Amino acid sequence: MNNPNRNVISFDFGLRNIGVAVGNRRLGTTQPLAVLKARDGQPDWRALTSLVSEWQPERLVVGEPLHMDGSDSELSQLANKFARRLHGRLGLPVDMIDERLSSAEAKSISREQGHRGDYSANPVDSLAAELILKSWLERARGEA
């Protein structure tokens, strides 16, 4: 796919919330987009498809929540299943990237910005998705 915008959408997969962020490979910019509600890891596919239609990404990135020793976790297996579903439904290439500690880092950043830690009222999932995307962009620049 030849996409002049070079947009990439990333996802911080979770069973109840899925954070979404968008970035631009050419510009190296990122921003949090949304937190999609999920039921047992299943997002509102219409809302997700609408975001993808709006931003026209060339690629999708899903954070893979591995154990600290690098081994698969139950959640990482579900995140991989979500990535396969994304590819199947949207036909876009999907990359997985190690996202260990991205949620912890997002919570730390949120506290530094003055948020008080009620993450149910102010979820940090889209910020975690942005951190995942920043990590992927750094890796992609290193491979270029």
Which of 26, 35, 32, 20 is CA-nearest to residue 7?
26
Parse the chain into domains and list their residue ranges.
Answer: 7-143
DSSP 118: -
Predicted confidence (pLDDT) per residue in 10-64, tens digit: 999 999 999 999 999 999 899 999 999 999 999 999 999 999 999 999 999 999 9
Predicted confidence (pLDDT) per residue in 49-66, tens digit: 999 999 999 999 999 988
Q: Fold for 7-143, please state it.
A: Nucleotidyltransferase; domain 5 (3.30.420)
Question: Within 13 A of 67's CA, how many CA atoms are on the CB side?
Answer: 5
Which pTM value belongs to this model?
0.82
* Cβ–Cβ under 8 Å, residues 78 and 29: no
